[in-house]
Amino acid sequence: MSRLAQTDGLTEDQREILKAVRTFVDEKILPVATELEHADEYPQEIVDGLKELGVFGLMIPEEYDGLGESLLTYALCVEEIARGWMSVSGVINTHFIVAYMIMQHGTEEQKRKYLPLMAAGEVRGAFSMSEPGLGSDVSAITCKATRDGDDYVIDGQKMWLTNGGSSTLIALLVKTDEGADSVYRNMTTLLVEKPTGFGEVAPGLTIPGKIDKMGYKGVDTTEAVFEGHRVSADQVLGGQTGKGFYQMMDGVEVGRVNVAARACGIALRSFELAIDYAQQRETFGKPIAQHQAIMFRLAEMATKIEAAHAMMVKAARIKDKGERNDVEAGMAKMLAAEYCNEVVQDSFRIHGGYGYSKEYEIERLYREAAFMLIGEGTSDIQKMIIGRALLKEYAAR
C-alpha cells in the first residue's frame, strides 16, 4: 500500500471496505482499463463486480438494503476506483447523486420504491441539469414541464448525461410555472423512468447515441431530447414543485467531493507510474530518479497528492456531520483538479517520449485528467462560490 493518500481515524469496517475495493481495482480494473478505454467499451464485467461488492449501495441506509456508510467512505472508494480507471467512478457517481437526492429529499414512497433497487444496482441513475445552451448558469434553463391533469408534459433538450443510455432513472431539472419572483423557485426535479438503450426509448423521449469524447471513454455520455414526454405528478422529487434547484445543488455538493476524489485517484496512479518508471529508466549511467530534477519533481507531485487528499477528506467529513460544505467542496474540487493535471503532466514528462505512446498508461491518464477541470463546475466557478461565501461571512464581522 502506498504511504500517500492515507486517512486517519477510519473504523475497522471502513478499512475492510477500502481493502476490498483496492483489491478489486488491482485485480479486475487495472489489467483491462487501458484496453477497454481505447475501445470505448462499456465495462460491464467491472460494473457487475462492483454490484456484488455493494458499491452501488454504499451510502444508502440499511433500512433500504444499502450499507449505510458515510460520504467519506464513498469518496475514499471512488478515489481507489479512479486510480484504476476514472470512467468506472463516473458510472457510479451519477447513480450515487441521484440516490443521495432521493435519500435527502424524496418522499417515503419514493425512497421505498427506488432505493433498494438502486442499492442492488438494478435501477441505475442519471443526473440531468445541463443543457446545450447552459452549464453552470442554471438560471438559463429552458427545458420545461407543464402540468396536464395528473401528469407533467416535458419539452426540451438536455446535455451531458453520464449513464444516459445505461440508466433507468433520470433526476431531471425542469422549469415549471410556480409564479415565483425568483427563477430558482420556478424549477422542479422530476424522477423520469426509462428503459436502457438509444433512440426513442419511450414516447417523446429520445437518447441519441454516445457523444464522442477526448477521454472519459467507456461510460456513455449522451443528450436527452423530450418532446411531449409524460410523467406522473407523483414523480416530482419530494412531492413538492419549486424546490428543484436547491435539491440539485445539494446533489452537486456531494458530486464535487466525488470529483475531488476522482482527481486524487488519477493523480495517485500517475505518481505510481512515474516513480516506478523513474527507477527503471537510466540516463547518463544511473536511474533518472537519482537526477535531482526528477527527484524534486517526484517530491512536488507527492506533496500535491497529500494536500488534495486532505482537502477532499475534510469536505466529506463536514458533509457527514450534516453541515453545508459548499466552500470546502469547492476548495477540494478546485485544488484536486488543478493538482491532478499538474501531477499527470509531470508524470507524462518523466515518461518522456514513451508517455506519448498509447502503449503506456499515462497517455490515458493525461486525457482523463482534463475532464477533472470541468466536471461539476470549472475552477472559475468554484472560485466564485468560495469567494462569495467568504465575502458574506467576513462582511458580518
Torsion angles phi and psi, residue 52, rounded to 5: -65, -35
Under 8 Å between Cβ of 143 and 154: yes
Torsion angles phi and psi, residue 70, rounded to 5: -85, 170
Q: DSSP string spanning 256-322?
A: HHHHHHHHHHHHHHHHHHHHHHHHH-EETTEEGGGSHHHHHHHHHHHHHHHHHHHHHHHHHHHHHTT
- Taking alpha carbons only, the member of 173, 186, 183 closest to residue 139 is 183
Q: Which residues contact 196 (CB under 8 A, 6 or more apart)?
A: 165, 166, 167, 168
What count of other Cβ atoms lies within 10 Å of the Cβ of residue 11? 11
What count of other Cβ atoms lies within 10 Å of the Cβ of residue 394? 8
Query: Which string of b and e fits 262-286 if b means at least 16 CB within 10 Å?
Result: bbbbbbbbbbebbbebbeeeeeeee
Residue 178 is a catalytic residue: no
Catalytic residue among 37, 69, 80, 376: 376
Under 8 Å between Cβ of 111 and 64: yes
Distances in Å between the Cα of 251 and the Cα atoms of 23, 71, 164, 173 are: 29, 12, 17, 12
- Can you read off the three cell numbers belonging to residue 262? 476522482
Residues annotated as part of the active site: 376
